[in-house]
Chains A and B, each alone.
Chain A
Amino acid sequence: MKAEFEGIHPDEGTIHAWLDGELDAPDAARVEAHVATCGSCAERVAEARGLIAGASRVVGLLDERPVPLLRPTVLATTAAKRSPWRVTPMRSAIAALLLVAAGLTLTRDRIAMEFTPAVPTAAGRMADSAVLAVAEGKDAAATLAPSSSAPQVGRPTDSVFASAVAKRVAQDQPARGVGAAHGIAIPDAPPTPAANVPTLNAEPAREVSRGQMAAKLGAATADAAADKAKSSVAQVAAAATCYRITSTDTTRLWGGVVLPMEIALASTAAPSDSNGARLAITGVRGGGTIGSWSRLPGDRLSLSFRALGATTVAVLAPAGQRLAGTLSSRQSTLALSEVVVTGAASPVARSRADSLAPRAVAGRDVSLRRDSASARTAEERRLPVVATPIDCPQ
């Protein structure tokens, strides 16, 4: 064959590049001319076409379902900044605190189901559909749906978690019957309507800012509670101290949370709240992760919180102007009610809880305490971290 005499049979890679439209014009013309006159190359081209189409089909088979389009709502903060109703991370944190206070007992079955080891994915799907039912059946929970697509807080588990909280709170409030109705004591907040609950969910969903989901959770939770029981639980003091937690290894996806993250420590004045001090994560993962904190002797700080399905304990000791320690996280089948403050705060520690400031004390040994309740959980992951004090986001 003439082409063979010319010695320019394109190799397989070149044929693919040609079919992919990635050869420059002279090369493409050369391959085209060759293939037109070379029977064996024409066959190879036909085979390559089949491979390209087949491989594309096989890759497409991997897709379980279409990927929904998530909106980058977290970045659309400009409009929110202009509004006096805007939700600041601080307010969100406080709203998240209310959420904790209101939803303290929670979702044992939900979380257990999520982490049944044998069939984790199937269990996850079951759980998702269960929560969809909640969202459809309740206005309060339904408001969670749009904000759940905000990227910073957008994992399905967050809305699952939130819906579970809203549901459980609605169920629990009549029985618990705690106190009279209180709103959230948000600094600079506009007057709240009759239920003393910020109507944040009246804002357009497309302008949801980073912290807004958390605030919505608080509002939705409180709405649900007020509707059912005409009471809400927590009156949260505004005082808070904030830290940014980083690790030398920032690539770690840790316990469902991506570092670095920011945490807000706040105390609460709610008499029903025996733990006294709350922690909210205001960083990457928004309001889905909540917990409690306390002071330990020696100015150490004990954190205990969870992302959905992972319980985390850390004791941070002063190290110069910062705090250092180890985050220890494990997958958990626990209910939120079983998340405890490690090394329960003494009365003294509690009274100092809202004036926590880093002190220049020499570094100390870091002691890790495990929740006794998390003993039946599986893998533990530990990550050395440093907590740097920051201004609380306004």
Chain B
Amino acid sequence: MVTPERLKTLFDTYHQPLVRFLSRQTGDRDLAEEVAQETFVRALKQETIASERSWLFAVAMNLVRDEARKDARRRRRLELMRDEAEAESVVQPASTSMERDEERALARQAVEALADRDRDALLMREEGLSYEEIAAALDLSVGSVGTTLSRARRRLMEAYEALQSAGSAKRGEEES
């Protein structure tokens, strides 16, 4: 049984990365908070947890994949549409914050374009999980984590840069 003291330590250590991970996964901060809470509730029920960080991230990820997934997707699309609408409605030279909003929308689209496993691995790595932990969480062999990550990074950057140039081409047309 995970003791309350142990759970507190787990919470102190992992709550923030977990919420960030889940927010990046879903684009929905509220959902991220809920799923993170549920993850810790489940941790409390565990007899033992071998690799805590892997376990927490894997459970959180699976929860997101569950029922909430569809909802999150829907909300994410709405958010994307809103971000795009905002980005398109810019007439004045873009301010820094508008650039930032637009960048975020592009980043969201690019991350969305990744295969689930690639995205999971990348977001976990960004939270500092080791290859071994990522392998445990995603049920991969440790040897394939590097390949997964390299593919995720390459595809993310390709997608992001493609979206960026599409965006600036569009702006160019509008200006001319």
Interface set of A (CB-CB < 8 Å, partner B) = 11-17, 20, 22, 48, 50-52, 54-56, 58-64, 67, 69-70, 72, 75-77, 118-122, 124, 151-152, 154-157, 249, 251-253, 256, 258, 284
Contacts and interface: CB of A to CB of B under 8 A. Distances in A.
Given A15-B146, A155-B34, 15 more contacts: A20-B131, A22-B146, A51-B150, A54-B157, A54-B160, A60-B126, A62-B27, A64-B23, A69-B16, A70-B19, A72-B11, A119-B82, A251-B66, A252-B67, A256-B34
Contacts of A69: 16
A17 B145 contact: yes
A14 B100 CA distance: 33
Contacts of A122: 82
A119 B110 CA distance: 22
A56 B127 CA distance: 10
Contact of B75 (A14, A56, A120): A120
B154 A20 contact: no
Question: 9 nearest interchain CB pairs?
Answer: A13-B147, A17-B146, A13-B146, A61-B107, A55-B153, A72-B11, A16-B150, A51-B153, A22-B131
27 contacts: A12-B146, A12-B147, A13-B145, A13-B150, A51-B154, A52-B153, A58-B107, A58-B111, A58-B160, A59-B126, A61-B107, A62-B27, A62-B108, A67-B20, A70-B15, A70-B16, A72-B15, A75-B4, A76-B8, A77-B4, A120-B78, A121-B78, A151-B11, A252-B66, A253-B31, A253-B66, A258-B37
Interface string B38-50: 1011000000000
A151 B37 contact: yes
Interface in B113-129: 122-123, 125-126
Contacts of A61: 100, 103-104, 106-107
Interface in B60-88: 63, 66-68, 75, 78-79, 82
Contacts of A48: 150, 153
B146 A20 contact: yes
A63 B19 CA distance: 11
A67 B125 contact: no
Given A16-B150, A17-B146, A251 B67 contact: yes
B30 A155 contact: yes
A60 B40 CA distance: 25
A62 B147 contact: no
A284 B37 contact: yes
A64 B148 CA distance: 26
Contacts of B33: 154-156
B144 interface: yes
Contact of B122 (A17, A59, A63): A59
Given A253-B38, A258-B37, A75 B11 contact: yes
A258 B34 contact: yes
Interface in B129-170: 130-131, 144-154, 156-157, 160
Contact of B34 (A20, A67, A77, A253): A253
Contacts of B154: 12, 51
B11 to A, nearest CB: 4
B63 A251 contact: yes
Contacts of A258: 34, 37-38, 41
Contact of B30 (A50, A152, A156): A156
Contacts of A50: 157
A153 B64 CA distance: 20
Given A58-B111, A155-B30, A11 B147 contact: yes
B12 interface: yes
B29 interface: yes
B160 A16 contact: no
Contacts of B29: 64
B7 interface: yes
Contacts of B41: 258, 284
A124 B82 CA distance: 13
